[in-house]
Amino acid sequence: MRIAFLTLLLICQIPSAVLAQATSPVPPVPNYPRVNRTPWYAVDESWPQTPAESERTAVSGIAVDAKNQVYVFTRSNPPVQIYAQDGKYIRGWGQGVVEQSHHMKLDPKGNVWLADIGNHTIRQFTPEGNLLLTLGIPGEFGEDERRLSQPTDVVVSPQGDIFVSDGYGNNRIVHFDAKGKFVKQWGQMGTEPGDFCNPHAISIDSQGRLYVADRYNGRIQVFSQAGELLDVWDDVVIPWGLWITPDDHVWVCGSSPDAWPADPMVSRGGKPRDQLLMKFNTSGKLLQLWNVPLGGAETLPGQLNLVHCLAVDHDGNIYCGDILGKRAQKFVPRK
């Protein structure tokens, strides 16, 4: 009798809503359309077919030419490696020429431009690796019309004008003419609009506007070729690499905005919590975002660790290179 009384007392203390929930029928799961309204990406684990003699190490630059051939700029040998869209290795070059690779670009004529932060130069090569032009004095750094200091990237206009993000050392953009003659420079270390805190990458759209990944300031800045500041995209990404498609989609790779770490040896974005691939229009509106898993000590296919560069081919495939992950990867769009 005592047990029955205590049981009745406990039941009375249970809220009526809980009792109703326990006894109400469970509604059926809706028949959701299960349609992906935005693209997603799957890694192609067979890409690329790296030559056996090439040590796996940091990939700092990547670019796609008019034939959908992919140029990979790595800190291994050969430093420049060219692959077909399906991953087949075509050729490589640059041994004994590159000291420490950074970004790379292809100009409208298909020539290859390499940023070498080890010897403070920007150099132009034919697709076969023949040297055509050197900007900066190899082995010397400075901040004048002839010297650069750890330049990070370069872009060439259809008219042949050359724009260098003279990034790690000088925090400026340098304009040269088609023959490599100094024209002008702009920018300085700082946080105000138009200033730079490591201009880490540069690209150009079809209208001739220049986009600069102002990495440590966590923003993209847009300039005219005369150096006039046109726009600032603040607080959306810590940008590491840029790629602009022929239809003026601005692709950015990097990580979510974060603060400067307490460790003075670690830069902003140096210990990211994610890896982002983002597509913008030229007004700075975000059109698409894909979050790639952050790799650990052993980065697996489909993961990135300090993504440094990206390029997009004519079929929408995204190619990425990272520093700690030590690999180039191909991400294939799916629906």
Domains of the chain plus CATH, in order, are: 55-334 (2.120.10.30)
pLDDT of the residue at 9: 41
pLDDT the model gives residue 2: 47
Beta bridge partners of 278: 252, 289
Residue 8 pLDDT: 42
Find the helix or strand (DSSP H, E) in which 10 lies: helix 2-13
* Greatest C-alpha distance within the chain: 103
pLDDT along the chain (335 residues), means of 10: 44 49 82 91 97 93 98 96 98 96 97 98 98 98 97 98 96 98 98 98 98 98 98 97 98 96 91 97 97 93 98 98 97 93
CA nearest to 227, candidates 174, 282, 286: 174
Q: Single out the residue of 199, 223, 219, 200 nearest to residue 211, CA to CA.
A: 223
The position carrying tokens 């769009």 is 333
Q: What is the structure's pLDDT at 22?
A: 55
How far from each other are the two terminal CA atoms of the chain, in whole angstroms? 65
Confidence at residue 21, expressed as pLDDT on a 0 to 100 scale: 54
Q: Strands, DSSP E only, in 97-248?
A: 101-106, 112-116, 121-125, 131-135, 153-156, 162-166, 172-176, 182-186, 199-204, 210-214, 219-223, 229-234, 238-244
